Amino acid sequence: MSLTGKSILITGASGFIGQAYVARFLQLGATVCAQVNTGEIPAHLNLTVIATDLSVAKSGNSLVQEALARTGKLDFVINNAANQGVLDPAHATRAEIELVMRINVEAPKEIIDESAKSGVSVVLNISSVEALNPRPGHEIYGASKAALDVLTRSASRSHAPMRVLGLRLGLIGRPGIDQAWPEGVAAWKAATPLGRYASAEEVVGVTEFLLSDANAWATGGTYDFDGGLGANSW
């Protein structure tokens, strides 16, 4: 897949998966606009870093506008930024809950709506298996990702022919995860048919397909990339 002459906006670009996205799309020849809040990304000739706090209302709209102004056009957008805060619903404040929903649902909606006005071909929303597989203590986060999945379906109809897709991720490994979270990794491996976690590079690989012309007849769907977790029977 060559992306020479194409441009892409990636939110949450300073995170683990975000940095993998940035590196790969630069390698493929794309011009990359990388949204960050507090993190940093190494400089590159074809990289534009945009510091934006997505917790601010309408920041998603202004982000797309700025990316468009800097590149002249936008072909793809990846809504990768997320608030993964673990909140106890019995004690979480309204402000804490609203922040999770703001980052995980409202900001992506602003970005999708503005992208549809800006000639974007495909928007990809990064979801989570927790949208479908509840975990105690993760109720608010799971609800936000379930809402994002519904937004993906609805926006695909509202904004056609722009395609809107989702990628529902399971556990993605990073350096040191086996030592830092042995019980969680063991539980994940036991629960999934493939018995392992994915790498960030594998996430990038499936994303390349989802954005490509080979997937041009797909819109509105959220693709499970979870090692088979969703196929488990009760």
How do the pLDDT tens digits run along the chain, 234 residues long?
Answer: 789 999 999 999 999 999 999 999 999 999 999 999 988 898 899 999 999 999 999 999 999 999 999 999 999 999 999 999 889 888 999 999 999 999 999 999 999 999 999 999 999 999 999 999 878 888 999 999 999 999 999 999 999 999 999 999 999 999 999 999 999 999 999 999 999 999 999 999 999 999 999 999 999 999 999 999 998 754
> Both tokens of residue 38?
């507090």
- Report the distance separating Cα 116 and Cα 175, nearest Å: 37
* Options 1.10.579.10, 3.40.50.720, 3.40.190.10, 2.30.33.40; CATH of 7-225: 3.40.50.720
- Report the distance separating Cα 84 and Cα 98, nearest Å: 13
- What pLDDT was estimated at residue 34? 98
Peptide bond into 161 cis (omega under 30): yes
In order of 34, 89, 175, 202, the CA distances from 199 in angstroms are 21, 31, 10, 5
Residue 3, strand partner residues: none
Residue 34: exposure state from Cβ atoms within 10 A (0-12, 13-18, ≥19): buried
Give 14's DSSP letter: T
Asked if 8 and 76 touch (Cβ cutoff 8 Å), the reply is: yes
Residue 167: exposure state from Cβ atoms within 10 A (0-12, 13-18, ≥19): buried
